[in-house]
């Protein structure tokens, strides 16, 4: 069935609560492990229905944020789903306290009971008012970003369209595009500061209500981190500083010289070639046809997957006013259907959508096919490994999209990915500072951002740039507002994806087989265990990124030869 035909009907939270009550009572009254699992299935089926309807409402709002009906439906779930918190806690406690736990636990994937234990640390009925408040404030920011238009070249355009000019080959045009964005953000600077301040404060209140010192610990629990902690992330941060930053700084300086740039500015960061970065030689329809061919050549399973996605119109990729400005992959579990939203803008990023977001969708497809337990939830570091590694496995087919500039695309893709580690770690470190110090003023937060930029991207300057020189680049990084502590998952995944790339250049079939194995697990095993099983080095070990840095530099040097 085509995605546009999937039926939507609001699932009233009151009805969901009644189902939870029934399932919880049956778990408590169970006389065997089988009865516990049967009662659990009542709740899992209800979650499938609720999540499907919420995902449909969110998707249809995001493709047109001016649609009042779906805006109201989305907000209904966001405001009322926190009311489930108490029942989710009671359900989790019932599963942990059942006298048949030992037997039940053996019948479920290992992460399930670890998830139960950690979920009690992230949920509490007493923070429902704060959860509702957080959702409402976050919606203010999401709505603002979806409706933001920037005046440039005599036109008003959304940020996804402006990005094409922000990363074009004309340096002066890039500067002007950033200037236009800076002015638009500055005009709304007080609003952006106020929204973020309110989010920080309400998240801090949640944490202290639950007995935590600040939101950092609660934030980790909310991200379902069950096999690594803050100390591991700090070690990863040090690995990036010690091994990745020097290589990126060296190559950035060399590229600047080749491009005739004396001082690399923020508006130079997204460009690798003086003549402009490679763009697809295909239009939108041709990109999808080339993508279909690519996935058929990759494997039989990926061929079946892409045919299903295209047949069901499970993509919305054209940018337009009123459309949510980011990109995502979601799923409608009742129908076993993934869906991808993006905003094409004529850059190489359009192809990356068909590789990155399709990596997410392929993982969902495999989870549905393999009937992975729905509570064997994989963390976002695993999900992003699925998507970023798929990007790398698609290198083999990039001539379909970039023709004579395929080598340039590969250089840009690899260098952007390596450079991303130095940016993504700034986002994560910034959030630690902000939530450890919730009373920082807006100016103090901006100052902290600039300090991190100087540490991890020392080659880059915002001097003289309207608004950005104050340290406000973070204000249009939507994850910082909407999904605290998510961004490190991208960095962890990137370090894994680069290793899959190296594998693919040595033995493509083996690399794909390892990727398929990793992705097929879903969340049925722990993240670090899955990495070990497919021969990927844990990013948390000291010196884990030395080889990543060395191999990346070698490949980049080979690709940059004339």
In-domain check, residue 480: no
* pLDDT (0 to 100) of residue 401: 96
Contact residues for 371 (Cβ-Cβ < 8 A; gap 6+): none
On whether the CB atoms of residues 469 and 358 are closer than 8 A, the answer is no
Low-confidence ranges of the chain (pLDDT < 70): 562
* pLDDT (0 to 100) of residue 169: 85
As a whole number of Å, the end-to-end CA separation of the chain is 49
In-domain check, residue 364: no
Q: How many of the other CB atoms lie within 10 Å of CB of 7?
A: 10
Domain that holds residue 33: 3-120
In-domain check, residue 42: yes
In-domain check, residue 78: yes
Dmax (CA) of the chain = 76
Tokens of 186: 């500055």
Q: For residue 423, what are the CA distances in angstroms to 159, 411, 474?
A: 20, 18, 11
* pLDDT (0 to 100) of residue 62: 94
Tokens of 337: 């259907």
Q: Is 154 exposed, middle or buried (0-12, 13-18, 19+ CB in 10 A)?
A: exposed
Choose among 255, 283, 287: nearest CA to 270. 255
C-alpha to C-alpha distance for 157 and 514, rounded to whole angstroms: 42
* pLDDT (0 to 100) of residue 562: 61
The two beta strands, 149-152 and 155-158, are antiparallel
In-domain check, residue 64: yes
Choose among 34, 68, 75, 267: nearest CA to 172. 267
Q: Is 268 exposed, middle or buried (0-12, 13-18, 19+ CB in 10 A)?
A: buried
The two beta strands, 315-318 and 337-344, are parallel
* pLDDT (0 to 100) of residue 345: 80
* pLDDT (0 to 100) of residue 347: 82
In-domain check, residue 488: no
In-domain check, residue 256: no
On whether the CB atoms of residues 366 and 520 are closer than 8 A, the answer is yes
Choose among 239, 276, 246, 315: nearest CA to 2. 315
In-domain check, residue 76: yes
On whether the CB atoms of residues 452 and 430 are closer than 8 A, the answer is yes
Total domains, the chain = 1
On whether the CB atoms of residues 79 and 72 are closer than 8 A, the answer is no
Render 335-358 in DSSP notation, one character per residue.
Answer: GTEEEEEEEE-SSTHHHHHHHHHH
């Amino acid at each position: 069935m085509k995605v546009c035909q999937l039926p939507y009907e609001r699932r009233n939270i009151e009805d969901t609560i009644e189902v939870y009550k029934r399932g919880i009572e049956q778990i408590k009254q169970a006389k065997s492990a089988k009865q516990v699992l049967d009662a659990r299935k009542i709740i899992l089926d209800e979650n499938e229905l609720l999540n499907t309807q919420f995902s449909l409402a969110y998707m249809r709002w995001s493709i047109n944020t001016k649609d009042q009906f779906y805006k109201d439906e989305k907000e209904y779930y966001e405001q009322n789903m926190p009311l489930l918190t108490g029942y989710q806690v009671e359900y989790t406690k019932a599963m942990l306290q059942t006298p048949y736990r030992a037997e039940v636990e053996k019948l479920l994937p290992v992460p399930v009971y670890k998830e139960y234990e950690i979920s009690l640390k992230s949920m509490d009925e007493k923070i429902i008012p704060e959860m509702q408040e957080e959702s409402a404030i976050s919606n203010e920011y999401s709505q603002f970003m979806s409706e933001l238009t920037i005046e440039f070249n005599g036109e008003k355009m959304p940020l996804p369209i402006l990005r094409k000019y922000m990363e074009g080959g004309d340096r002066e045009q890039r500067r002007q595009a950033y200037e236009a964005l800076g002015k638009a953000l500055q005009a709304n600077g007080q609003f952006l500061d106020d929204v973020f301040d309110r989010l920080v404060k309400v998240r801090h209140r949640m944490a202290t209500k639950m007995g935590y010192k600040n939101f950092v610990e609660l934030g980790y629990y909310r991200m379902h981190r069950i096999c690594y902690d803050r100390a591991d992330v700090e070690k990863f941060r040090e690995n990036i500083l010690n091994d990745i930053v020097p290589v990126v700084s060296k190559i950035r300086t060399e590229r600047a010289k080749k491009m005739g740039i004396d001082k690399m500015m923020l508006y130079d960061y997204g460009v690798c070639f003086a003549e402009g970065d490679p763009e697809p030689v295909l239009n939108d329809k041709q990109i999808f046809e080339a993508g279909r061919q690519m996935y058929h050549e990759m494997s039989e399973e990926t061929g079946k997957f892409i045919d299903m996605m295209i047949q069901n119109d499970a993509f919305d990729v054209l940018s337009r006013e009123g459309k949510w400005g980011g990109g995502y992959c979601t799923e409608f579990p009742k129908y076993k259907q993934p869906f991808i939203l993006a905003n094409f803008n004529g850059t190489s990023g359009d192809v990356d959508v068909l590789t990155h977001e399709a990596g997410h969708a392929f993982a969902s497809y495999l989870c549905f096919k393999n009937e992975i337990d729905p509570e064997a939830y994989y963390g976002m570091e695993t999900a992003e490994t699925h998507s970023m590694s798929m990007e790398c496995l698609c290198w083999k087919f990039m001539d379909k999209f970039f023709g004579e500039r395929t080598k340039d695309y590969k250089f840009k893709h690899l260098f952007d990915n390596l450079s991303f580690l130095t940016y993504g770690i700034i986002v994560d470190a910034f959030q630690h500072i902000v939530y450890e110090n919730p009373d920082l003023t807006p100016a103090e937060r901006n100052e902290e951002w600039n300090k991190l930029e100087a540490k991890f991207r020392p080659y880059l300057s915002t001097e003289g740039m309207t608004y950005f020189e104050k340290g406000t680049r973070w204000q249009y990084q939507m994850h910082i507002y909407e999904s605290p502590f998510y961004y490190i998952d991208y960095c962890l995944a990137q370090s894994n994806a680069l290793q899959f790339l190296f594998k693919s250049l040595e033995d493509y079939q083996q690399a794909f087989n390892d990727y398929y194995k990793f992705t097929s697990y879903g969340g049925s095993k722990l993240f670090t265990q899955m990495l070990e099983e497919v021969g990927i080095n844990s990013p948390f070990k000291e010196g884990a990124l030395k080889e990543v840095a060395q191999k990346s530099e070698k490949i980049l040097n080979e690709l940059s030869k004339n």
